[in-house]
Amino acid sequence: MIYGLIAAVGWGTSAIAATNAARRAGTYIAVLTGQGIGVAVLVVLVAFLHPPLGAIGLTTAIGLVGAGLLGLLGYLTFYRALEYGGAVGLTSAISATYGGITTLLAVIVLGEHIGGFGAAGVVLAVAGIAMASAYSSDAAQAPPIAVAEPIVGVAPGPSRGRRLSRAGVPLALASAVTYGVGGFLLGGYSARAGALGSALVAHSASVTVLLLALPFLGRKQAWRASAPGTIWAVAAGLTDVVGLLAFSRGGQAGQVAVTAAVSSVYPAIPLLAGLVMFGERLGRWQLLGVTLIITGLVLIGLG
């Protein structure tokens, strides 16, 4: 339970930091900085812990690279939704349903059994997404949010009163799908090749692609980031790694179900922060939807 709480705090705090990073520095710089910090931490851990890396053969490495690239798409769409989509609580809640995607893939592809709690959790999460994506009359009257900037652009500073825009919904859903598929692949290969080495290969692949894309960016502004934006991006990367390591440690301790269930409540942290820090206003359907999503995630962890 302790590891689950640490993971929840880490991921919840990471979402808050990611919001500030994406809106100040832009999606590309924020993701590159956060992923780079993650790789640096993993390299240090590998150097100190000396995990066995011999099981990572060519086929496994290719699979891990694929998992890393899918994870990168998840990060880009998640940060993009935060950058221009508005409400951090809603975006985080929808994106967090990647656990349901991974669970469904394990059932369909691997033939794993899902219990009653897990099945009910998937249903609740889907219903929550539908409700959270609904628009109240107030949302329709809200001032439009720019969504046409390239993904590598520099976003405007954060403003109060933002809510999940029409562009934020598909981006958050895309993040959930790519996170879920990438997590499924990473979990499968990690079981054979070790969690630490697998995570390092996957994260290194995503950072390599980001660095290769750097010379082809269309605007010089996208190469630069404000100091506060970079600091927030570093914080997002560090807290994300803390959550990942805590979750992995809980699994190694034989408390996978409890750790997953407790850590699944992490969207509640950015939801509260959105209300307090960013002045986000939630309609009745959005609030009910987020509640159903979080409840569903907990049931999936227990199932």
Instruction: Dump the DSSP string for 259-297.
Output: HHHHHTTTTHHHHHHHHHTS-----HHHHHHHHHHHHHH
Q: Is the pLDDT of residue 134 over 70?
A: no
The first and second tokens of residue 17, run together, are 């930091």
Cα separation, 183 vs 278, in Å, equals: 30
For residues 146 and 255, the model is more confident at 255
Task: Assign 149 a pLDDT band (cuts: 50, 70, 90).
Answer: very low
Average pLDDT, the chain: 78
Listed residue (39, 71, 57) closest to 185, CA to CA: 71
Task: Assign 285 a pLDDT band (cuts: 50, 70, 90).
Answer: confident
Q: Is the pLDDT of residue 175 over 70?
A: yes
CA 110 to chain centre: 24
SS3 14: helix
The predicted pLDDT at position 259 comes to 64
Cα separation, 154 vs 123, in Å, equals: 37
The predicted pLDDT at position 151 comes to 37
Q: Is the pLDDT of residue 131 over 90?
A: no
Cα separation, 61 vs 192, in Å, equals: 12
The predicted pLDDT at position 159 comes to 43
